[in-house]
Amino acid sequence: MRVIFLTHNYPRHPGDLPGGFLHPLVLELQAAGADVRVVAPSDAGQGGRTMLDGIAVRRVRYAPAAWEFLAYTGRMTSALRDPRGFLALGGMIAALRRGARAEVADATGPVVVHAHWWFPAGLAAPPELPLVVTLHGTDGQLLDRSGPARYLGRRVLARAGVVTAVSGALAATVRRTTGIAIAPEDVQGLPFDAAGLAPTSGGRGIVSVARLTAQKRLHLLVEAVALLARQGRAMPLTIVGGGEQLGPLRDLAARLGIADQTRFTGPLPPAQVASVLESADLFVLPALAEGYGLAAAEALIAGVPVVVCQDGGGLLEVVGSGAQARVADPTAASLAQAMAEVLDDPGARPAALDAGNLLRTRLLPAAAARQALGWYQRALERRT
């Protein structure tokens, strides 16, 4: 069976972050005997066919090099406000479709397309090929915000043989916005190879790992840390990630007088993220309507207690209920109170480690690959 991964995000080199969670699944599928090909957009003119850890990756050109800025940055929605971005999007969809068809040419057996994110990959999938679509989060938010997106999304998902989501919350969004039901057995968290994560020793304060966008609401975390400092509980804060909110968050930390205890690392490769988590006392992510929340899962696997917000979507499924986590209202005051409660709870760290051990097993790439192979077989049978 040939499986074509169609996506706007896939690592461009070893250790690259965009779409990095897809790569372990591809490797496991290949090890299980599937012939996996990846089709992804070019980045600023860097197109062509390459190999990444033995996986064939086709980077398709979709616009002049200066216009190829839609993928890999997490700014696709905002980039579409630029007329160049809107024109480039049409080119990307057409180029992804051509790339997928090119990967069919020499196939000797059945072929399935696995589109990650219904937009733009699901939209680009060749209609003549069996299709599995996985929603990851931002594409669910798009369904929530836009009437035209709901119209397009409904059409894409209706022609898919199998529709999957990374969390129950995201599956509920799909049903509410499109009327398409995702079966509970087709909800599968993001695969994760936890081999590099060791139980935390703590002692280095509060950590958050996220793309720095408005949806992550990290300003609430900065404000909460400032509140704790004014209460005599000053702690170091480390924020890992890059994005459009980096400058505003730096400015906010300076205005609130906690710049000297706040560190912004920018994006880090997985090994360095693991090192940061392994010395954390607490992980906090106040994101709104998160599709899954892999960073929170990584924290628990490292034995770090977690604080999230009650409207955090898939994050609540990741952290579960128990001493390992607190769920706060989306305000700085509520967040600060929840953080203090976790830090004062001697049972939080052992509970986090127990929860993390369960996640470690559930998110093994081999388990996700077995699930995916079942989806592909169903998509082939339904097309037949």
For residue range 3-19, list pLDDT tens digits in order: 999 999 999 998 888 89
Position 94 scores a pLDDT of: 98
* pLDDT tier at 351, thresholds 50, 70, 90: very high
Q: pLDDT: is 166 or 195 the higher one?
A: 166
The long-range contacts involving 193-199, CB below 8 angstroms and separated by at least 24 positions, are 193/24, 193/364, 193/365, 194/298, 194/301, 194/359, 194/360, 194/363, 196/270, 196/271, 196/274, 197/274, 197/277, 197/278, 197/298, 197/301, 197/302, 198/274, 198/278, 198/302, 199/278, 199/302, 199/303, 199/353
Rounded Cα distance between 10 and 53, Å, is 13
Question: What domains are there in the chain, each with its CATH number?
Answer: 2-191+364-383 (3.40.50.2000), 194-362 (3.40.50.2000)
* pLDDT tier at 181, thresholds 50, 70, 90: very high
Q: Is 280 exposed, middle or buried (0-12, 13-18, 19+ CB in 10 A)?
A: buried
- Of 65-74, 108-117, 259-268, 318-327, the poorest mean pLDDT is in 65-74
Please check the confidence at residue 145 and state whether its pLDDT lies above 80.
yes
- Kindly give, in sequence order, each residue whose CB lies less than 8 Å from that of residue 157, ignoring residues fewer than 6 positions away: 118, 122, 133, 163, 174, 178, 180
Please check the confidence at residue 81 and state whether its pLDDT lies above 80.
no
Chain-centroid distance of CA 93 in Å reads 21
Rounded Cα distance between 38 and 59, Å, is 8
- Kindly give, in sequence order, each residue whose CB lies less than 8 Å from that of residue 251, ignoring residues fewer than 6 positions away: none
The tokens 């119209």 sit on which residue? 151
